[in-house]
Amino acid sequence: MAERRAVNKYYPPDWDPSHGSANAYVGQHPLRDRARKLNEGILIVRFELPFSIWCGGCNSMLATGLRFNAEKKKIGNYYSTPIWSFRMKCRECGHWFEIHTNPKETTYDVADGARKKAESEDDIVDLSCIEEQDNQGSLLHELEAAKEHKQKAAQQIQRLNTLQVGRKIREENQRQSDEIQSRTGINIPILPASAEDSANAAHVQFGETGNVTKRIAKEVAGRPLFAKAAKLQKPNLKTKLALRHLSNNDPFTSQSTEHRLSIPDLGIKRCSKSTFPTNGLDELALTYANMDSSSSDTD
């Protein structure tokens, strides 16, 4: 309803368009009480003090920005610009004071009942301007001004050099970053190095690749040319186990290992080289002889 209140109007039940506007029909002004002195050329408005003033009745200070219900009235013209008068009461003592607009100076003037507090730049005397006017023809003043100009120029040149060096450093950092991105294939932006990164990198230790390479080269040079020959030099594991088994005494056998059976005990006879057959007939004769000897033994 609040947004509709500004556009909606109340029309009495007995009103019709022939009576004109609703305000004229009920005998009221659209501005209500603000226009109660409109026949005198006075309109009630809200006025904000443009500067601090001292009240002429109670001598209290009224600060800048304080607002009053002021009587606005036109009192003259400056060429085609109207001059307005704002008359209001002091909130402390009820004393009336009046402020006028000044179109010529584009400011406000306290006309009656108060005085302006001297705190604006216009009310403060600028001694530097007076001193500058007095020293315009002085040779010493010209030398001092030239020296100040030289100092300012040197500072500006130093500032420009600093900016140029900073730009070159940024361009070099960007070039290195682009080079790393193109080499590694990383598309994310690379941040500049920091003190924490340097400290972490200082604690990283890498192996000595040169000594390792020399040691491997020495081992390779000392190896045999063929891997099979090196394998034959090593003792066979099965042979070692068999020899160890034969050398150990078996406590569960009835015969001691100290009494070893000889070849004659086993009935093995050695044959001389002359007994071996040299051809097929000799081999056949030897076979028959062995058969005869075996038959006689059985008898």
DSSP 244-274: HHHHS--TTSSS-TTSPPPTTTTT-----GG
Residue 56 has pLDDT above 70, yes or no: yes
More confident residue, 30 or 58: 58
More confident residue, 271 or 100: 100
pLDDT confidence of residue 70: 93
Closest CA to 89 of 69, 107, 103: 69
Residue 37 has pLDDT above 90, yes or no: no
- Structure confidence at residue 204 as a pLDDT band (50, 70, 90): confident
Q: How far apart are CA 72 and CA 44, in angstroms?
A: 6
pLDDT confidence of residue 230: 47
pLDDT confidence of residue 252: 55
- Which residues, in sequence order, are CB contacts of 82 under 8 Å at separation 6+? 74, 76
Residue 99 has pLDDT above 70, yes or no: yes
Q: How confident is the model over 210-254, as pLDDT tens digits?
A: 666 777 778 877 777 765 544 555 556 666 666 666 555 555 554
- Structure confidence at residue 168 as a pLDDT band (50, 70, 90): very high
pLDDT confidence of residue 26: 73
Residue 78 has pLDDT above 90, yes or no: yes
Residue 269 has pLDDT above 80, yes or no: no
Closest CA to 99 of 59, 60, 55: 55
Closest CA to 85 of 109, 105, 69: 109
pLDDT confidence of residue 217: 79
| Share above pLDDT 90 across residues of the chain, in percent, rounded to a whole number | 28
Highest average pLDDT, of 18-32, 46-60, 116-130, 209-223, comes from 46-60
Q: Phi first, then psi: what are they for 44, rounded to 5°?
A: -80, 125
- Structure confidence at residue 83 as a pLDDT band (50, 70, 90): very high
Strand, helix or coil for residue 4? helix
Helix and strand numbers, DSSP H then E, in the chain: 9, 8
Residue 2 has pLDDT above 70, yes or no: no
Closest CA to 87 of 104, 68, 102: 68
Residue range 49-67: mean pLDDT, rounded: 91
The secondary structure element, H or E, covering residue 179 is helix 139-184
Residue range 259-286: mean pLDDT, rounded: 56
| Share above pLDDT 70 across residues of the chain, in percent, rounded to a whole number | 64
Residue range 173-185: mean pLDDT, rounded: 85
Looking at the DSSP bridge assignments, the partners of residue 68 are 47
Highest average pLDDT, of 134-143, 162-171, 248-257, comes from 162-171
Q: How far apart are CA 196 and CA 200, in angstroms?
A: 6
Residue 167 has pLDDT above 50, yes or no: yes
Residue 108 has pLDDT above 90, yes or no: yes
Looking at the DSSP bridge assignments, the partners of residue 83 are 76
Residue range 154-167: mean pLDDT, rounded: 92
pLDDT confidence of residue 197: 83
Mean pLDDT of the chain: 76
The secondary structure element, H or E, covering residue 121 is none
DSSP state string for 77-104: EETTEEEEEEEEE-TTT--EEEEEEETT
Reduce the secondary structure of 19-77 to three states and give it as a string: HCCHHHHHCCCCCHHHHCCHHHCCEEEEEECCCCEEECCCCCEECCCCEEEEEEEEEEE
User: Sheet of 114-116: strands edge to edge?
Assistant: 61-62, 53-55, 114-116
Is 0.85 topped by the overall pTM? no
Lowest mean pLDDT among 22-26, 165-169, 268-272: 268-272
